Amino acid sequence: MYDFKEKLTGKNILVTGGAGFIGSNLCEELLRLGAHVTCLDNFSTGFRENLSIMADNPNFTLLEGDIRNLEDCKKACENKDFVLHEAALGSVPRSINDPITSNDVNVGGFLNMLVAARDANVKRFVYAASSSTYGDSESLPKIEDKIGKPLSPYAITKFVNELYADVFKRTYDFDTIGLRYFNVFGRKQNPNGAYAAVIPKFVMQLMSHESPVINGGGEYSRDFTYIDNVILMNLLALTSDNPSSLNQVYNTAFGERTTLNDLVNYLKEYLSEFDPKIAEIPVIYGDYRKGDVPHSLASIDKAKSLLNYNPGFSMQSGLKEAVKWYWSNLK
């Protein structure tokens, strides 16, 4: 259906944050498609083991560096056709606890990358935006041009990225595409640490026969999005020949929402195929978390129309794949 290999074979592509969850999956797929891939990472949240499968690939280059350092960004952008900018400090709670570092990485680092990519004459700059940009907007589904006020420092940083990208097109005629990720999950997602994403965290707790802790009453809902849908969106953004698709932001999701209570029930069902005792583990309910948006659901009409996006994995089909990976790799 898609001719990515024809368009990407031999291209020089930089993936910032390439040792992270999404970045490392992108690196793998780009190498499979015949691209020359450079990963820029400082390993503050990424992991070397995420890159181990690529280490001996002659088309893969690892650059250890920090997007807060403009010279690192310039070196990484030399002779690149495209940039996939995934490097960021994620997590709403992390940004609430330390807004300065989140801003330095997510805003200062983003601007460094824009400048470096512009100066290197990169053809297209695709960046990880965030559904947190919708803020306090209560409308559902979320449509790209209707946002509210940000609810966290993290959300502010990701909105500022979109503003900078827009200005770089207007001022320097530099082409970008922003992808507003909605609760991405899947293989290689880190289950550990204070800011672990909810799905791998719940999986680890259930596999250890511990009760997962849900913030609030469990009726908050999210548009959980499997990693392969996100990879598809990045590839479409890189290769689109539609001029109208450039210098836009797109929801990157499946377009359905799942409550946290339903999520835990699905996880218990799928994991109990490996360990029947998991089906009986009770859930613990905690306090609501500051900065959390109650409900999130994406409209993917714009991506379908302008990028020909057709996500291959529903939340449940993706979750089944993710559970198999977690059981094989984290047990």
Q: Which residues are catalytic?
A: 154
In the block, tokens 């880190």 appear at: 190
Task: State residue 252 phi and psi, 5-degree precision.
Answer: -120, 100
Which residues contact residue 127 at a Cβ distance below 8 angstroms, ignoring those fewer than 6 apart? 84, 85, 86, 110, 161, 165, 176, 177, 178, 179
> How far apart, in whole angstroms, are the C-alpha atoms of residue 70 and residue 66?
8
Q: Are 5 and 33 in contact (CB under 8 A)?
A: yes
Angle between helices 315-330 and 260-271 (to 10 degrees): 50
Q: Are 72 and 113 in contact (CB under 8 A)?
A: no
> How far apart, in whole angstroms, are the C-alpha atoms of residue 209 and residue 311?
33
Degrees, nearest 5: CA angle 324-226-293: 120
Structure tokens belonging to residue 111:
């601007």
> How far apart, in whole angstroms, are the C-alpha atoms of residue 251 and residue 112?
24
Read off the DSSP letter of residue 250: E
Torsion region of 311: left, alpha or beta (phi above 0 gives left; psi -120 to 50 gives alpha):
beta
Give bridge partners of residue 38 from the DSSP assignment: 14, 61
In the block, tokens 């997962």 appear at: 212
> How far apart, in whole angstroms, are the C-alpha atoms of residue 315 and residue 221?
12
Which residues contact residue 134 at a Cβ distance below 8 angstroms, ignoring those fewer than 6 apart? 142, 147, 148, 293, 296
Half-sphere exposure (Cβ direction) of 76: Cα atoms closer than 13 Å: 36
